[in-house]
Amino acid sequence: MTAITEGRVVIVTGAGRGLGRAHALAFAAEGAKVVVNDLGVGPDGSGTSRTPAEQVVDEIRAAGGEAVAHAGDVASAEGAASLVATALDTFGRLDTLVNNAGFLRDRMLVNLDEDDWDAVMRVHLKGHFLPLKHAAAYWRAEAKAGREPAARVVNTSSGAGLLGSVGQGNYSAAKAGIVGLTLVAAAEMARYGVQVNAIAPAARTRMTEQTFAETMAAPGEAGAFDAMAPENVSPLVVWLGATASAGVTGRVFGAEAGRITVMEGWRPGPTADKGSRWTAAEAGEAALKLLADSQPPQPVYGAG
């Protein structure tokens, strides 16, 4: 059986550790040539190092695959441009972009500094926008030249972006923004042969290791299923990044352990139309009746 991404060129950002590393290795195992991007920062975004990206490249090459490291900052115009250029210069094409890079600076809102807000919004939201912008420009040029691509983008949102998460106002806002960006990109880029989807994964990484530490397979349990291993998320990402996902775009998928969920977002619910302007009292009365007929919201992570 032919590997699902045989011959495709794939960029994975934040691929030195955690989910990104798992994605890069999974794509390579399915025949893709991988650009492994990682700035090598700490869990809070401090410091830089080429080592994480280079180590993953070494793993891929040791297994017989093809990969190249990129240690640039994808949340800068220069870094994002050089990322796409690395794929084109090394492998001659680009087929799939997986936006995954990020870090955390958790604080309750009243304690959240402006710098922590800006840093998290930058790495997650701007770090999705800029690689997508430069990849999309390449794919648009290919389509206009009569070489319409079968291109794929997989963005990384979070349950925090869909439901909210106490102590993560900056992260939740950035991840919610990624969903909006995904929907717009899917609509704008469809004419050029580009599909854009997002995942909301749950897995144990440097950012979540304390949260999911208790769900690890117990030491010595041979063959035990590690439900929170990042490798559990990667098969869906690889499929979304392959031509096999043709026709799937503008969707958000939850991925956790052995479970895949199609996330269904905002859509009109109960509605009242007076046909003229409401008074404040009337609007309140109508709103309460509509709320009584509506589905209650899912709880915010960490609330209550």
Strand partners, 190: none
What integer pLDDT is reported at residue 220 of this predicted model?
A: 43
Beta sheet of 151-156, edge-to-edge order: 66-70, 33-37, 9-12, 96-98, 151-156, 194-202, 252-256, 259-263
Fold (topology level) of 9-263:
Rossmann fold (3.40.50)
Strand partners, 255: 201, 260
What integer pLDDT is reported at residue 215 of this predicted model?
A: 42
Catalytic residues: 158, 171, 175
Contact 48, 71 (CB under 8 A): yes
Cβ atoms within 10 Å of 195's Cβ, excluding its own? 24
Pairing state of beta strands 66-70 and 33-37?
parallel
Measured between alpha carbons, how far is 240 from 238 in angstroms, rounded to an integer? 5
Measured between alpha carbons, how far is 210 from 201 in angstroms, rounded to an integer? 16
- Domains of the chain, by residue range, sit at 9-263
Q: For 277-293, give the DSSP string.
A: PPPHHHHHHHHHHHHHT
Contact 231, 204 (CB under 8 A): no
- Structure token digits, residue 247: 């026709």
Alpha helical stretches, state H, 93-167: 114-121, 127-144, 159-163
In tens digits, what is the pLDDT along the chain, a chain of 304 residues? 579 999 999 999 999 999 999 999 999 999 999 999 999 877 766 667 789 999 999 999 999 999 999 999 999 999 999 999 999 999 999 999 999 999 999 999 999 999 999 999 999 999 999 999 999 999 999 999 999 999 999 999 999 999 999 999 999 999 999 999 999 999 999 999 999 999 999 988 655 555 544 444 444 455 689 999 999 999 999 999 999 999 999 999 999 999 999 999 999 999 999 999 999 999 999 999 999 999 999 999 999 7
